[in-house]
Structure 1
Amino acid sequence: MCGRFIITDTAPDLVAMFDVEIEGENLPDPSWNVKPTERIPIVLESAKQDPPVRRLEAARWSLVPSGSPDLALGYPTFNARAESVGQKPAFAPSLAATRALIPATGYFEWHTEGATKTPYFVASDDGLPLAFAGLYSWWRNPALSDTDPARWVLTATILTTDAHGQLTEIHERMPVALPEEWWDQWLDPRIVGDQALVDAAVLASRALTETLDFHEVGKVEGNGPELIEPVR
């Protein structure tokens, strides 16, 4: 799973990194402790124009299907299991046409032995940012009028898969981090997304997994660069 991550790049950094054409408003500041339901930057391509336009937008981290009557669901949707996402009613419509990249500097994972949970920080061994495979959905607040600009809320989720390589030492699951050569294909809304696309993306992510390092950290509390310092 991926329940906490960090993103230390600024909006201009992400615009350059992902060849973004339009930078959205009110993008979140860098954070060393991003939690579910908080605002995160996501990269998407809008199908309203042809060819699609790449955008950097702020989203609520926990996907809410567009037809949901309420923003708060009774089950967690900040992660979506890659092996079954195509069969899940909450995620399948987004998989078909509204896929996203979730930029991250790295993420936290907890290794459990008995009653003891030990936090680790996972990141690329070369310090380069990661791009998690994600999905997004626009949720419409039925309590607000069509003229209220707050009636639409952008929401997103991160795909996870079985842990691979050395990461199996700390947890059984991990986010799907896509290599750069997969970014365009994953984002393109003209490509109808299905389970086969996800399976291929997971396979492509395996090589990138080999470049990930991890180290034990202290308590993941507060928000600052000290959270990723190794325990000595």
Structure 2
Amino acid sequence: MCGRYVMARAIGDLVADSGAMEPDEEFALPPNWNVAPTADVAVVLERAGETDTRREIHVARWGLVPPWAKDVSMGARAFNARSETVVEKPTFRSAIKARRCAVPADGYYEWLKPDAGAPKTTKKRPFYIHPHNGSPIYFAGLYEWWKDASVPEGDPHRWLLSCTILTGPSPDAAVVESASVQGMTEAGRATLEQLGQLHDRFPLPMNPETMDAWLKPEKLSSAEAAQALVERVLDQGYSTASEWTLDEVDPAVGNVRNNGPELIEPMQSLL
């Protein structure tokens, strides 16, 4: 699951890192250390032109609003898409074939539930998960355009761009064992074990090669082709996630009104 994340770097830095073109129009997203669903976020996508393909950065609402939705409130329930069902769910099955994007993040938050049998007063513990080398994460995502019929033609607010982030099963013992056979470092395997202990879901990251394949603006011919691409992201995602660091952080992150770099400062952890 991904319900909160951090995106504090400048759009210009994302342009340089992602290989996107400079935006035609200037826009800025303020640093956000507590991004929550329905917030405006950056997305990277590709569009096919007459002679080439353009990689672009846009601002989208986090929470997918399909074209047939009656209003934007539906997006509040569609900020994540499960890899196991994304090709079947009416909300996502059209976008997965033709409107794929990447959602950049510095890292994301996840909450560790108390152990079974712990006192009822025991609270969940938040962790900040991020690449140990400081590079951005590019989560596999989908996007859609939704038309607000109540807004006049020609008004720029008539069309809403929205997005969702794909999630998959967190690494289990079988994944860690496979990583060992494939020669992953002990530190990488330990990180995968920690992710598996933290939550049963995690947002799917992409390395540059997988991101190139995911962003291709071609329309996939079938649900099977779409699922094969999802499986490619999932299989590679564990390797990418093995290079992450998990830091326990202050519970203040649980309140979306709290927003600042102090939220990602690590605390002493016993995970």
TM range, smaller chain = over 0.9
Match of 1:6 in 2: 6
The unaligned stretches of length 5 or more in structure 2 are 172-191
Q: Is the 8 Å Cα contact of residues 2 and 160 (structure 1) preserved in structure 2?
A: yes
TM-score (norm 1): 0.95
Whole-angstrom CA distance in 1 between matches of 2:88 and 2:76? 17
Matched, 1:226 2:262: yes
Q: Which of residues 106, 130, 133 in structure 1 aligns to 2:137? A: 130
Q: Which of residues 154, 174, 192 in structure 2 aligns to 1:147? A: 154
Counting matched residue pairs gives 232
Whole-angstrom CA distance in 1 between matches of 2:141 and 2:76? 18
Q: Which of residues 158, 168, 171 in structure 1 aligns to 2:199? A: 171
**Partner amino acid, structure 2, of 1:199:** E
Q: Which sits farther off after the overlay, 72-81 or 44-53?
A: 44-53
Instruction: Provide Cα deviations, 1:141-186, integer angstroms capped at 9, x if missing partner.
Output: 0111222111000000000011122201111110000011111111
Match of 2:18 in 1: 18
Whole-angstrom CA distance in 2 between matches of 1:227 and 1:186? 31
Match of 2:77 in 1: 76
Secondary structure, aligned partner of 1:168: helix
* Structure with the higher fraction of residues in strand conformation: 1
Q: Which of residues 218, 222, 227 in structure 2 aligns to 1:195? A: 227
Match of 2:212 in 1: 184
TM-score (norm 2): 0.82
Whole-angstrom CA distance in 1 between matches of 2:31 and 2:13? 11
Secondary structure, aligned partner of 1:86: coil
Q: Which sits farther off after the overlay, 172-181 or 22-31?
A: 22-31
Match of 2:241 in 1: 209
Whole-angstrom CA distance in 2 between matches of 1:89 and 1:163? 24
Instruction: Provide Cα deviations, 1:99-144, integer angstroms capped at 9, x if missing partner.
Output: 0001000000001116521100001122211100000001110111
Instruction: Provide Cα deviations, 1:22-59, integer angstroms capped at 9, x if missing partner.
Output: 42543422211100000000001123554221110000
Match of 1:95 in 2: 96
Whole-angstrom CA distance in 2 between matches of 1:100 and 1:74? 16
**Partner amino acid, structure 1, of 2:18:** F
Whole-angstrom CA distance in 1 between matches of 2:56 and 2:72? 23
Q: Which sits farther off after the overlay, 21-30 or 142-151?
A: 21-30
**Partner amino acid, structure 2, of 1:54:** R
Secondary structure, aligned partner of 1:17: helix
Secondary structure, aligned partner of 1:87: coil
**Partner amino acid, structure 1, of 2:212:** D
The unaligned stretches of length 5 or more in structure 1 are none
Q: Which of residues 168, 172, 189 in structure 2 aligns to 1:161? A: 168
| Structure 2 CA distance for partners of 1:196 and 1:124, relative to 1, 3 Å | same
Q: Which sits farther off after the overlay, 16-25 or 204-213?
A: 16-25
Whole-angstrom CA distance in 2 between matches of 1:191 and 1:231? 45
Answer with 1 or 2: which has the greater Rg.
2
Q: Is the 8 Å Cα contact of residues 210 and 232 (structure 2) preserved in structure 1?
A: no
Whole-angstrom CA distance in 1 between matches of 2:150 and 2:26? 23
Q: Is the 8 Å Cα contact of residues 27 and 57 (structure 1) preserved in structure 2?
A: no
User: Pairwise CA RMSD of aligned residues?
Assistant: 1.6
- Give 1:11 deviation, angstroms: 0.5
Instruction: Provide Cα deviations, 1:56-98, integer angstroms capped at 9, x if missing partner.
Output: 0000000000121211118610000011101111001111111
* Structure with the higher fraction of residues in helix conformation: 2
Whole-angstrom CA distance in 2 between matches of 1:108 and 1:86? 26
Q: Is the 8 Å Cα contact of residues 27 and 41 (structure 1) preserved in structure 2?
A: no
Percent identity, aligned pairs only, is: 38
Q: Is the 8 Å Cα contact of residues 162 and 173 (structure 1) preserved in structure 2?
A: yes
